[in-house]
Amino acid sequence: MNGRSLPPDLLDDEMKILYRIKERTEKGNSDNISRTKAYSAFFSVHPEIKWAFLASMVSRNAGWNMCDLQGYWMPRILSPEYRHSLFMTYEEANWLIFRDAFPQLLLYHYSTKLRVPLFHLSRYFCISGFMEEEWFRYWRDRDGTRLMYSQIINEQNLIEEPVIKNKNFKIPVFRSLLFNIQDHFHYSTVLFPTVNGELYGASVSKFRRTDARIELGKRLASILFSKDLFQEFYLFSLKTEPTGSRYDYERFFPYYKLRETPFLRLAYPPISHKNRSFGQWDQKRKIKKSWFSPPSITEEVLLTSWYKEKQKQLQAAMAFGNYLL
């Protein structure tokens, strides 16, 4: 309903659903913690929509990265201005994705309750025609993997113009020396923890490329929903209240780990975003068939040892980058 008025002939029940979705989306989009919990709660009701669990686990990573900026290491080597730019990059991207994705999830929820597809109402939330079509396809064919890939494709294209190509982020963040050091050495890693203290995940280089981010999303989904590991990740999610602190998973390490990052809600005040529209991305870019191809996983996904070593290297790289900036 982002700025679009409702027609007078809209059914009363549909009007009520739209306003309810708007209300729940605004409440859930308050901050990183509320987003993580909203995605997770939805998945507990609709486990067939796998993207919701993927989104909740990736959202946890965003929270940890945000809190790192106010933790022990980052303030010592990065300027307040640069840390604020990084925080706003994470915050804006995740806010935009939730604003677009959560109404889709709730339209599906109400469709199941009423046993009739309501995805035609997507247009009142400025959801892409691509996703409206994919939800109708899923309702008909029940191809959960295709829907999950479609949601990954949608979210990464959604942030392309307002975040990745936004001059407010592009120059201070994506063109910075530190970001390029991280990008070159695959430091941009998403981690999935277990209560056994193990870390799994995947990295991405060339983060500015939409294709690379989509491929990462598919690889992460493959890891998250693998038969051998899914229950481990889901148990972690059930047992671990998200705080935004990296300590949420470091506390499961088989040795004592000092907390080095704060709770997100103690580190950051609520952020007020401009509710502007960038149009529908699928009207500007073509859908690639390759985006629907299964991911290629050639790297090790168990990253526990890798993580410990890379933390040391990243701290050295950040110090080096800060010296040159």
Structure-derived torsion over alpha carbons of residues 188, 194, 197, 199, reported in degrees to the nearest 10: -20
User: Does the pLDDT at position 181 exceed 50?
Assistant: no
Residue 315 scores a pLDDT above 50: yes
Q: Is the pTM above the cut of 0.75?
A: yes
Render pLDDT for 115-126 as a digit per residue (tens, 0 to 9): 999 999 999 999
Kindly state the average pLDDT of the residues 265-291. 90
Dump pLDDT digits (tens) for 7-55: 555 678 899 999 999 999 999 999 999 999 999 999 999 999 999 999 9
Arithmetic mean of pLDDT, 303-315: 81
Q: How far apart are the first and last CA of the chain?
A: 43
Residue 172 has pLDDT above 80, yes or no: no
H-helix or E-strand containing 266? helix 264-267
- Domain assignment present for residue 314? The answer is yes
Do the domain assignments include residue 7? no
**276 found inside a domain:** no
Element at 105 (helix H, strand E): helix 80-114
The count of other CB atoms within 10 Å of the CB of residue 215 is 21
pLDDT at residue 208 in the model? 73
In a domain, 4, yes or no: no
Residue 38 lies in a domain: yes
Q: Does residue 186 have a pLDDT over 90?
A: no
Residue at 278 is within a domain: no
Instruction: Let me know if residue 216 belongs to a domain.
Output: yes
Number of domains in the chain: 1
Judge whether 274 lies within some domain: no
Domain that holds residue 146: 12-268+285-324
